[in-house]
Structure 1
Amino acid sequence: MKIKLKMLFNSLVGRLFISHMVLIIIVCISNFLSHSLIYDVLEERLINESKVEFNNVVKECEEYISDIKNYLIYISMDTEFQRIISSKNISDYSVYKLSNYMGRKYIESPQYINTWIYHKRTEYIVTRLTSYPKRMFWEKLYSNPAYNNKFWEEQLNTNEQFIIYPPDIYYDNSLINFENANITNNFNRYMTIIYKPFINSSYYLCAFVEINRFFENNNSLFGEQINIAANKAQIENVKANQPDGIYTLESFSEKNNIYYYMELDYRNIKQNLSNINIKFTVITIIAIAMCLILSVFFSIKINTPLKNIGEIFLPGERDKSPFTSLIDLETIRKHIYSLIQLNLKYKAEIENKDRQLQSYILIEKIRNLYIPDGPDVSSYLKYSFSNGFYMICIKIHPIGLISYNPSGKSIVFLNYSKKLSEYFLQRNRNGWNCIYFSENQENFILLLDNRNKQIEKYANQIKDYLELIRNDEVCFTVLVSELQSNLNGLDMVYNNILILLNKRCMEKVTQIIYQSNISEVKNHYTFTTNEMKYFSDSISNGYIKESMEIMKRVLEYNYRKRINCFQFSSLCYEFINLCIKAVIDTLSYLPGEIDIIQIQTVLKSLVCYEDYVQICENFIEEISSYIVKTDRNNDYMIDYILRYIQEKYYEDIYLDLFAEKLCVSKVYICKRFKEKTGTSLVDYLNKYRMEIACEKLKNTDLKIKDIASEVGIENVNSFIRTFKKYYGKSLLSRGYSKC
C-alpha cells in the first residue's frame, strides 16, 4: 500500500492533484484577504460619486440664494417702495399700501419664498397677504421661543447687509383666522434671509425660504437629504452620534457663511456585498473542484500515450507502475530537447549552405555574362581581384515615369545596357580589368579592380560617358561601394549600395554617390506650420488653384535647396496626407477609388522634380473633385438644420444628432454652419429659443419655468442665464420688455 501511494505521489496525476489542492487554498485565502480591500475601494468610489452630485446640488442652491438676494435688492430699490417706506410716519394706510405692493411683486419672486417687512416705526409685520401685529406674528407663527420680538429687533443693530439663518425657524404657512386668532399646527422649516438696505436702516426685508421644497424638486437623488447648518459644531455633533457605515459630506459657503451637509448610509450595501462575496467564494471553490476532477480525468486519459512515448525513449528501463512518473517525463523532455537542438543546428547549416550557394551562383553569373571573345578569355576567367575591387551600380531612370508603360521601360533599359556593354568591353581592352552584367533589367553592375587605385577617376569617366550618350528621356545615378576584399557576400554589398539612391539630388543629370562619404550628405525638407494650415484650409474649401500654388511654391523652394529624393518623397507624402485628412473630415470616410498604396509605390521610383509635381497635381485634383462635389450639398445640409431647429426647437437638440442624420463629421457641420450663417450652431439654437420665449412672455401668462420647458430648456436657472446673455437684462427685472 505504501509503495502504491509513493508511486501515485511521484506520478503526473498525483502531482497534479496536489497542485490543484494548493491552488484552491491560495484562492480561498486571497479571496478572504481581498474582501476588506474591495469594500474600501467600492466605498471610496461611491463616496466620490456622491461628492460630485452633492457639490452640484450645493452649487445650484448657491445660485438660488443669489437669485433671492437679487430679488430683495430689486424690491428695496423700487421707487414706489422707497416712497412708501421712507415716510416719517408709517400709518395704517401705508402698511396697507406696502402689503398690496408686496402682493403685486410676489409673482416676480423666486420659487418657494415668502417675504415680509419689519419696520421699527410701526407695530405691524407687512406680508404679501396682509399685515399682522408683531407680537401675534412672533407667538403664533413660530414654535421656537428663541425667535421672539427682541430677537427680530436686534437684527436692526447688525452691521451686515445680508444675514442668513439656517432652517431651524419653524413657520406656519397657513392663514390666520381673525375670528378666533388661532392657527393650525402645520409647521414647516424655513431658511431665513434678512436684507438691510443700509447700516442704519429703520427696516429690513426678510425672506422665508422653503429650502426643503427646493431640494426635493431638484433633479438630484440627494437633494432631499441635504441639510444646512449655521456652524461647524452642529456638523461635528451629527458625526459624533453616527453609527458605523454612515458618512457625512459637507461643504462651507464663504459667501453666505453657512454649512451644507448630507448623511450617506451604506450599511445595506455593505451587507449585500458581504452576501455576494460569500456566494462568489462558494462558486469559485466549486469551479476549482470541477477543474480538479476534469484535470485528473484528462491526465489519466493522456497517461497511455505518455507510456507509449516512454517505451520509445526508455526501452527496458520503465517500471510497471500504471502511472507515468515524473522521472520518466523529465527523461523524455531531455530527449525531445536534444532533438530540437539538433534540428536547429541542421537548420542553421542548411541556411548557411543555401547562402553560400546563392553567392556561388552570383559569382558564376558574373563569370559567364558579357565575357569578351578573344585570346584573353582564359586569363579573364582566372581573374582574382587580389588588390580588392569596387562594385559600381549604374541605375537608369526614365523621366516621366508616370506615362511609361512596362514594355517601353524595358526597351529603354536594353538600348542603354547594350551601349554600356560595348563601352566596358573597350575599357577592358585598355587595361581596366572589370566584370559587368545586368540585374533584373533595372540596374547595370560593374566590378572594377583596384589595381590602379583611382576609383574617383574611373567613376568620373563613367559619368562623362553617360552624359554623352543620354537624351532627355533618361538620367543616370552611379552608386560606388566601399573597397571589397573578396567575392563572398556580393548580394549584401549590392543591397547596401542600392540604399544610396535615397541620397540622389533632384536634378536631371548623371550623379555619383559614394558609400564611403554618405554621412556628409545631410539635408531635410522645409514645410512650415503656416503653410500646412493654409494648404489644409484651401483643400478643405475646394480652392484648387490656391492649393496648387502652395504645393508648387513649397516643392520649388525645396528643389532649390537640393534635397535628396528620399526627403522629396517624404515632402510629397505630407501633401498627400493633408489631402487625405481633408477628404475624411468632409466625407467621414476615404473613397475606395483613391489608391494610396499605388501612389506611394510610384513616388518611391521617381527621381525627377517634374514627375513629383505631376503626381501631386493629379492627386490634388482627384481629392478636390470629391470635396467640391460635397460642397454642392452644403446648402441643403444647412437648410435641413435650420428647418429642423424651427420645427423641433422644444426637443433635445445636440450636434451628434445632426452628424448621425447627415452622415458627416461634427467638425464639418460646425465649420460649414458658421460659414453659411456667420454664427455657431449652439448660438443660433439658443437665440431662436429666446425669441420664441419672448413671444410667450409677452403674449401669455405662463410661468417662467413652463416657458423654459416649452422651448427645450429644462433647467430654469440655465434659461434665465441664457436670456440675460442675449438681452442683457434678467427676467426678474422684466428683461422681456427688451424683446
Structure 2
Amino acid sequence: MNRLIAKRGLLQIFFALQLVIGIMFIFNYIVYKNSISGIYEKVSDNNRMVIKNVIQSFDTSFSSVNNLIFNIHALPSDRILTDAGGLDMEKVISLQDSLTSIVSNLDIVEDVIISFNDRDLAITTRGTSSLDTLFDRRYISQRYNSMFWRNFMRSEHGFTVFPAEDYADLNSGYGRNLMVAVDGNKVRMSNKNLMIFIDVSKLLKGIDLNSMIPGASLIVLDSNRNVILSTEKDLDLVDILNDVYFNPSQEASLTNGNYEYNFYKSDYNGFIYINKLPYKFQNIDSVTNANQWIMYGAIVLAVLLSLLLSVYLYRPVKNIVKLLGGNTLKGNDFVKIQSGIIKVQRENESLKKQMELVEEEIRRGVFLQTLDGQNHSREQEIQMQKQYTYLFQSRHFVMAAIYLKPDTESEFVLEELTATIRKDLAERYEHAIVYHTEHLKFLALIGFDQPSERIKLVQRFEQFLEAAKKDYLQSFDVWGCVSRSYESKISNCRAASEDIKDGLLYRHVNEDNCVVDTERIRYVPELYFPIQEIEKLSNCMLSGKVEEGLRIVNEIIQENVSVQIHHHQMIHIAKSMFFIVLQQAESSTVDRSELFRLESAFIDKVDQAFTYKEILDALVEVIPVVANMRNHDPRSKLNPAFITQYIELHYMENLYLDHMAEVLDTSSKYFSNYFKKTFGVNYVEYLNRVRLSHAREYLRNTDLSIAEIGEKTGYSNSSTFTTTFKKYCGVSPSEYRKTSGK
C-alpha cells in the first residue's frame, strides 16, 4: 500500500508535467496554423497606426513652418530703405537678428531667405547677400538656379513645397538634402518673399520611420499630387495614381504586383501620403517547415524531460510536505503543499500588518515627541535619530496643519480618514507624512529642496484642501495652516509647531483663503472697542432692548473685521462683551448654575470657532438669553427700558429732573434715587453721556459747526457744550474732530 502511495505521488508529478506539455502543444499548434497570416495582419495594422502617427508628425512640422511664415511676415520691414534710396543697414541687421531669434526655435529649418521684388537683397539667418551669390555659392542645385527662384517668386503662386533636393555649399564643400517651402503671394501679408529651407534628415529624425514594416517605404505628395519626399528612389507612381480613385474622406489602398499601396490624405494641408509595403512575407514555405520540425522536436524533448523531472522532484516534494506539517496527514501531497502555503501566507500577512502598525505608531510617537521641546533619555534620542531618514528626505521642510470640524453628526473612522489624507498628500508632494495629533487636528511634514519652492508648495496645499472639501471632506469645515520653512532638523520641529499655534491665534478674521500662511500674517494693533457703545450695550440689557444690543454687537464685530484684526483679538472682544452683558443678569432671579452653563457653552463655542461669523453667532445667541433673565414690567413707566428709550428719543430737549418726574408720574427726589440705584450713575451724568455720544457722531460724520452740534444735542449754548465735552472726553470738540480725521 505504501509503495502504491509512493508511486502515485511520482505519477502525479509526471502527469502534471504531461498536462503542461499537452497544453503547450495545443497552443503551439494554434500559433503554427495562424502565426504567419496573423502576424502579417497585426504587423499591417501596427504599420497603419505608425503611418498615421507619421502623418500627424508631418502635419505638426508643416504647421510649425506655417506659423514661422506668419511670424516673419509680422516683422517690420517697410523702413529698411533710406530717403536716398539706399539700405538702412541698421534696420536690415535688426530684421536679420529678429529672423535668427525666431528660426532658432525650429530645429528642422536649415535657413530662411527673405527677399524683395524691388531689391537684389537676400536676408538670411547667417547674414545678408544677393540672391545670385546665395544660390550660386551656398545653395547650388542641379535643378534650380537663382534665375528660376527669382522668376518663380515674382510670378503669382500659392504656398508651394518643392521636392527634396541635394544642395551643395561651395564654402563648406558639403551637400545637404533640403526641401524648399515658398510662401504664396496671391494674398500678401507683407512685402517680403519667403523661402524656408527644411533639413530632410532632421525632419525624418523626428519621425519614427523604423517602426514601419520591413521593406516598406513612404512617399509624400502635395495637394497637386507632386512628389515632394520619398524614402525610395526611382519610384514610378504614374500607373498607380491612374488606377486609384482617392476619396478625401476615406483611406484607399491598391495592390500592384507584390506590393500593397495605402493612400492617406492629411486633414491639415491636403497632402497625400503613400505607404508602399510588401504584400506578403517572402520564403513562407521554409519558415513553415522549420516551425513544424521545431514543434515536433520540442514535444519529444519535453516528454523526456518530464520523465526525468518527475523522478528528480519527487523527494523534494516530500520534504516540502514535511516542512509544512502535512507529513502525518493522508491525501494528495500537492493539496497538502497548497494548504500549508495558504496558511503560511495568511500568517505572514497578519504579521506584516501588525509590524506595519507597530512601526507606524513608533514613528507617530517619535514625531509627537519632537514637538514637546523637552529633553529625553539617551535611548529615546537614539530611537528618534533612527526615524530621521523617514521624517526628513529633503533639505528643507514646512509643517502644515489640517483642522476639521464636522458640519453634521456624520460618522467616520479616524484611521481611515488619516490614511486618506496621507495618501492624497503623498500623491501631490515628493515627500509628505501625516499624523493625527488631537481631536480632528492633523499635522504634516512636507519636504522640499529649495527655499524658493515654498510658494508653490503652499499653493498646492491650498488646492489639496479645496479638492478634499469637494470630495471626502465635504461633511467637514476645513481650515489649514502652513509654517515657515526650516532646515531638515529634528530640533526645528518645535519651532514649526509654534508657528502653527501662532497661525491659529494670529490669523486674520476675514481670511478668505482656507489656508493661513504664517509668513503672510501681519500684526494689527488697532482694535475697535468703543467704551460708549459698550456702555450703551449694557444699558440695552438693562432696558431689554435686544434689537439695539444686537445692532451694537454686530457693528463692533464688523468694524473689527474691516480692519482685519487677529482671531485671538476677536475672541477677547467677544468675551469682553459677553461678560459685560452677563453682569446685567439679575442673579436673584437666575440660578447660578444656569449662568455657569451659559458661560461655559459660550466660551467653548468661541474658542472652537473657525471664523468670526461663528463668534458673532455665539453672541447673537446669548444676548437675548441674558436679556430675558431680567424682570421687565412693561405696564409701568418707571422701568429702565422706558427711561432709556425716552432719553434716547428726547435727549436734544430740556430734560430737567422735574420734567422726567412729571413724565413718570413721580417726584423728582424719588426719580433721582431710583435712577441712581438702577443705572449706577446720577441722572445728569447719564444724560450728558447720551448727549455727548451723539455729539461725537456729529463731529465725526458731519460738517456742522460746534454751536450747531451743541444745539442739536440739547445744550443751550456752545460754551456749556464745550465745557461739558472737555470734562467727559478730555479734549475740546474741535480737537476731537481733528483727531477723528474730520
Give the TM-score category using the shorter length.
0.3 to 0.5
TM-score by length of 1: 0.32
Bigger helix share: 1
Bigger relative CO (Cα 8 Å, ≥ 6 apart): 1
TM-score by length of 2: 0.32
